[in-house]
Amino acid sequence: MQPNSPLRITVACHYVPDQSDPAQLHFLFQYHITIDNIGTDTVTLERRHWFICDANGKQIEVEGKGVVGETPTLVPGQQFQYRSAVALETPLGTMHGYYTLASSEGPIKANIAPFQLCQPGILH
């Protein structure tokens, strides 16, 4: 698997208070991912692998085909965006992971840098 990713991956996330219930230890976070193919080859996003950790140290791994039911193919310069959500038992957590992509030069692993999930007002 090639170590260098031809993708630029950006993440924006926010807490969803109207779908959360802190008294029941249910904190919902929505995240919006933008994937830009900044390489010179067409790639197809085949799989995702997430590591989700709450403030109690509980870690969940999520792995599967594509993202939100799709396996998008991106030509050079093309962008793909999607939204998804995750529920935690704490108001603070992190996510990171990687995508596995197919290209004409073989499989590529595109790392997704850690990002924070945080209920507003929890940190300062």
Q: Quote the distance between the C-alpha of residue 11 and its chain's center.
A: 7
pLDDT value at 38 more than 60: yes
pLDDT score, position 2: 54
Neighbours of 73 (CB within 10 A): 14
If phi > 0 it is left, if psi is from -120 to 50 it is alpha, else beta; for residue 25 that is: left
| Per-residue confidence band for 33, with pLDDT thresholds at 50, 70 and 90 | very high
The structure's pTM equals: 0.91
Question: Considering the chain, what is the average pLDDT of its residues?
Answer: 94
Other Cβ atoms within 10 Å of 71 Cβ, number: 13
For the segment 94-104, the average pLDDT, to the nearest whole number, is 96
The CATH number of the domain covering residues in 7-118: 2.60.40.1470
Mean pLDDT value of segment 52-64: 97
